[in-house]
């Protein structure tokens, strides 16, 4: 009788251990074939560039090809939906960005709920915009910008890459927090020629896209949208120094379809975080005007929730509607 009881306990313990063994084996064997990273923007866009840096690094680290597949359209919603509809096996990822957090509120009739239908995997990088003005304007500081805008309501035009894009959201957050009235002029292509000719007077532009004309003195950098100064623009203060609590970073990361096995998500998260700590990878990201943004899985999900809430308030304040 004692022997049978011992046999039962041994078998029971083995049965309990089997799922854990299977999970470990699944994580150890992943990836066993190429992994695609969906990018919801055209080749050459910031999200595409960051995704290709990470795809190359992941390929070398994990011994399988990680490749980028561009699915532009719907302000990245086409790419997000493509990923969400894929099998939850870790072989389709999304190169996500702040735009996905904005779209959660901006687009009322999406066929998916981004937070509900995805498994956040890892953060990759964050970078700042720079508030820049045409040198013809008598503005050199944030207080001067606010004072000028309040003295000339509706007369300053700011350019962006379109409704809901990071430059647009940075400007609208600034308007919301300062009470100024500046007019949005959305562009379908890069607006720099009109900014240089003073047809539009200012913009919140991603640093890598404008650092050249700033260094050449063709545009004047007033402040950066991060909470700390940018190494790419030494001497240029953050807006938060004058508008407490202001922050409008561009950020990127990876997501997978919901129900992707937790052990695969955890393995990807640990791998990405290790890559972000690698000096060579950090140098490549710095050259893009970015800095690493590592997160644990739970903290990354919390970050996305906070970003959806933050930008949802701005969308509603500005009365934004998709173009």
Per residue in 80-131, pLDDT (tens digit) is: 999 999 999 999 999 999 999 999 999 999 999 999 999 999 999 999 999 9
Q: How confident is the model at residue 231 (pLDDT cuts 50, 70, 90)?
A: confident
Q: Do domains 27-126+250-318 and 129-241 have the same CATH topology?
A: yes
Least confident of 42-46, 68-72, 111-115, 121-125: 42-46
Residue 321 has pLDDT above 50, yes or no: yes
Report the C-alpha gap between 270 and 285 in whole angstroms: 18
pTM over cut 0.85: yes
Residue 21 has pLDDT above 50, yes or no: no
Angle, helices 77-84 vs 98-106, to 10°: value is: 100
- Give me the mean pLDDT over the 218-237 stretch: 95
User: Tens digit of pLDDT for each residue in 118-173?
Assistant: 999 999 999 999 999 999 999 999 999 999 999 999 999 999 989 999 999 999 99
DSSP H helices in the chain: 2-29, 46-62, 77-84, 98-106, 114-117, 142-151, 166-178, 192-196, 207-215, 262-276, 279-287, 297-318
* Superfamily classification of domain 27-126+250-318: Bordetella uptake gene, domain 1 (3.40.190.150)
Domain spans of the chain? 27-126+250-318, 129-241
User: What architecture is domain 129-241?
Assistant: 3-Layer(aba) Sandwich (3.40)
Secondary structure (3-state) at 94? strand
**What's 141's DSSP letter?**
S
Report the C-alpha gap between 71 and 35 in whole angstroms: 15
């Amino acid at each position: 009788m004692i022997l049978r009881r011992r046999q039962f306990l041994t078998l029971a313990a083995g049965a309990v251990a089997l799922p854990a063994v299977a999970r470990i084996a699944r994580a150890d064997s992943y990836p066993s074939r190429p992994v695609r990273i969906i990018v919801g923007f055209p080749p050459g866009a910031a999200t595409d560039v960051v995704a290709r840096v990470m795809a190359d690094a992941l390929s070398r680290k994990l011994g399988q090809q990680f490749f980028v597949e561009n699915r532009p359209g719907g302000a990245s919603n086409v790419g997000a939906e493509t990923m969400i509809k894929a099998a939850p096996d870790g072989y389709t990822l999304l190169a996500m960005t702040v735009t996905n957090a904005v779209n959660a509120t901006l687009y009322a009739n999406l066929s998916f709920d981004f937070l509900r239908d995805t498994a956040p995997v890892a953060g990759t990088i964050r970078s700042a915009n720079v508030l820049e003005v045409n040198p013809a304007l008598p503005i050199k500081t944030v207080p001067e910008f606010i004072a000028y805008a309040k003295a000339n309501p509706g007369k300053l035009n700011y350019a962006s890459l379109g409704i809901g894009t990071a430059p647009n959201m940075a400007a609208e957050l600034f308007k919301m927090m300062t009470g100024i009235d500046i007019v949005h002029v959305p562009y379908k292509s890069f607006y720099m020629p009109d900014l240089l000719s003073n047809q539009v007077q200012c913009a919140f532009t991603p640093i890598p896209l404008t650092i050249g004309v700033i260094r050449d003195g063709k545009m004047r950098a007033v402040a950066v949208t991060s909470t700390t100064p940018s190494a790419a623009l030494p001497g240029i203060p953050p807006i938060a120094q004058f508008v407490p609590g202001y922050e409008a970073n561009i950020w990127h990361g990876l997501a997978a379809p919901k129900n992707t096995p937790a052990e695969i998500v955890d393995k990807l998260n640990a791998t990405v975080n290790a890559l972000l700590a690698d000096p060579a990878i950090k140098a490549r990201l710095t050259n893009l005007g970015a800095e690493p943004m590592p997160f644990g899985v739970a903290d990354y999900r919390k970050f996305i929730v906070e970003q959806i809430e933050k930008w949802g308030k701005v969308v509603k304040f500005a009365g934004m509607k998709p173009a």
